[in-house]
Copies of this chain bind each other. A is one copy, B any other.
Amino acid sequence: MSSLIQIGELSERAGVSHRTIHYYERLGLVQPAEREGAGYRYYDETALKRLEKIAALKRLGLNLDEIAAVLPLYFADATGIKGKEKVVEILKVQLAKAETQLHELTAFKRDLEGNIARMEELIAQAQRG
């Protein structure tokens, strides 16, 4: 059962507004599986998965253009992708960024843990004294 859903359900399940979905559609990030005569959009499950992937990539700091560049890799057959050299370049840039970010994030996490420990110690001292 390919059971298509409308934009209302999709937006609710994906946790984004229907206007956001329209916006993403214009940017080529998601497309309805079909549109009947009246213009209503009907989506399948992959639409939901795309929206979830978009959200995840956004959390990593990619903007919608960058997401548009890497998203097809998650849903398209790799052999069918045109301009593979270009895509590889983009991916390598993203990889370098990801690696930098991993280091910074690890350092940031350590800082946070250290600061939390310090603060909690100070709070405990204040309560004792």
Judged by a CB distance under 8 angstroms, whether A95 is at the interface is: yes
CA distance A122 to B79 in the complex (A): 7
**Is there contact, CB below 8 Å, between A59 and B104?**
yes
The reply to whether A95 and B79 form a contact with Cβ atoms under 8 Å apart is: no
Known contacts A78-B122, A88-B120, A122-B78: does B115 contact A73 (CB below 8 Å)?
yes
Which residues of A from 57 to 79 have beta carbons under 8 Å from B?
57, 59-61, 70, 73-74, 78-79
Q: In the complex the two chains form, what is the Cα distance from A78 to B122 in whole Å?
A: 8
Copies of this protein, total? 2
With contacts A99-B109, A109-B98 taken as known, whether A118 is within 8 angstroms of B60 at the C-beta atoms is: no
Is A49 among interface residues, defined by CB-CB distance under 8 A? Answer: no
Chain B residues within an 8 Å CB radius of A104: 56, 59-60
Kindly provide the distance from the CB of A81 to the nearest chain B CB, expressed in whole angstroms: 8
Q: Is A84 an interface residue (CB 8 A)?
A: yes
Q: Which residues of A contact B (CB under 8 A)?
A: 56-57, 59-61, 70, 73-74, 78-79, 81, 84-85, 87-88, 91-92, 94-95, 98-102, 104-106, 108-109, 111-113, 115-116, 118-120, 122-123, 126
